[in-house]
Amino acid sequence: MRAETNDVAFRLLLALGENWDALQRASIDPSSKGLYLTKEYLGGYTRFSAGPSTSPRLIVEWNESTRHLRVLRCHEWPGFEATISSTVAYVRDEARDHGIIDSVDNVFVRACQEPSAPARRTVLPGAMDSDSEPVRRRA
């Protein structure tokens, strides 16, 4: 798993987060495919906590206007892409049945397009698993 805005699966996770509240209001349970996600609004940033269970493997804060991604936790998540893919497929099917497919698909289409503006990424010390990616230490 890569918590980077140039990774399509990661951008789809953010798109799912963007749709999450609307899906739940439409009685669609996106967690039924094994993706657990919570989001909090933190004054400009949105914190997404996600994982294959209620214990998050990924915690990021994203500011859309400044395009700044802060990675607070990014632990190994076997099957990340498969979980995102099956959740997106399920959400699209359910959204079609509930008549909200246009709004849901708009968010997914934007997520699949390459970002036109660059994003800044900050990885907090200790956020990454020691096996996944080296983290630069402060001297």
Query: Both tokens of residue 51?
Result: 């994982």
- What is the structure's pLDDT at 111? 92
Q: Report the DSSP pairing between strands 58-63 and 45-51.
A: antiparallel
Contacts of 77 (CB under 8 A, 6+ apart): 1, 51, 52, 57, 58, 83
User: At 91, which helix (H) or strand (E)?
Assistant: helix 80-98
- What is the structure's pLDDT at 130? 59
Q: How confident is the model at residue 38 (pLDDT cuts 50, 70, 90)?
A: very high
Q: What digits encode the pLDDT tens for the residues 84-95?
A: 999 999 999 999
Q: What angle do CA 63, 94, 56 make, to 5 degrees?
A: 45
